Amino acid sequence: MGALDGEVVLITGGASGLGRAVVERFLEEGARIAVLDRTADRLADLAAANPERLAVIAGDVRSITDNQGAVEACTGRFGRLDCAIGNAGIWDYSIALDAMDPAQIDAAFDEVFHINVKGYLNLAKAALPALVRSTGALIFTVSNAGFDPAGGGALYTASKHAVVGLIRQLAYEFAPAVRVNGVAPGPIETDLRGPGALGMQDRSIGSLNLAAVAAPNVPLGRVPAAADYAGGYVFLASRRDSRPATGGVLSMDGGIAVRGIGRVSAGGRLAEKYRA
């Protein structure tokens, strides 16, 4: 008997990478799951793996209608909703503000924030009635960039800081009926893509060889697999294990926040560039 036996969970961005690892772990723990994702072929592959306990819905988290449709499909198939997980997101590949073309900023900002922040707002709005009925849980994927710089560029870091604020505000608004928490992974081997507005839509973080690039900067000395993070979501979804928890973020950053004194700044070249 698993920690989530019989529970019904909806997860966005669950067809690949971290999201799929969470789906697979939740299935192991006995949950029934609906997945909202915009990649139809990956959804089909996911559904084929466990058709009895999986429902898949193609859609875009930026659309409130698609989020509402996912909740309706989930409750129609399984009769209830116990936990909703906002996980779909994009990364800006740590592009510095100085390196961005001013003409790109509007569209890039909108794309990053609409997916990383509004997508979570849409899910919360759509899922709230069902979660109130089940006295359920809402979980958002944050990042070490939700607390510290250099986990992304200005756009991504700002979006993840916004998610931390969203968690705290919604925890206040939804208590005592619904618990709202987050999981903040550190570096991760996944298929995270970038914003189309910056020409990064086909670029995957998996192409960066994080095991070589990031591991030396992680106190635990390695870049975890996506599956290594899934237990944090199980903990926060579990009615038995995290009933007192709301408004918090479970840090799973490999120790990044305790690296101590390191590089002073990343802007040393700016004086040479602009004062010459």
Give me the DSSP letters along 92-135: -TT--GGGS-HHHHHHHHHHHHIIIIIHHHHHHHHHHHHHHHHT
Catalytic residue among 156, 172, 233, 274: 156
pLDDT at 89: 97
On whether the CB atoms of residues 237 and 7 are closer than 8 A, the answer is yes
On whether the CB atoms of residues 194 and 269 are closer than 8 A, the answer is no
CA distance 28 to 69: 26
CA distance 218 to 216: 6
On whether the CB atoms of residues 251 and 257 are closer than 8 A, the answer is yes
On whether the CB atoms of residues 37 and 22 are closer than 8 A, the answer is no
pLDDT at 243: 95
pLDDT at 157: 98
On whether the pTM is more than 0.85, the answer is yes
CA distance 223 to 94: 18
Those residues with Cβ within 8 angstroms of residue 271's Cβ, 6 or more apart along the chain or in another chain: none
Q: Which tokens hold the place of 198?
A: 């910056």
Where are the alpha helices (H) located in 37-190, listed in sequence order? 40-49, 64-78, 102-113, 119-134, 154-174
Parts of the chain with a pLDDT under 50: none
pLDDT at 265: 77
Assess whether 172 carries a catalytic annotation: no
Q: What is the DSSP letter of 259?
A: -
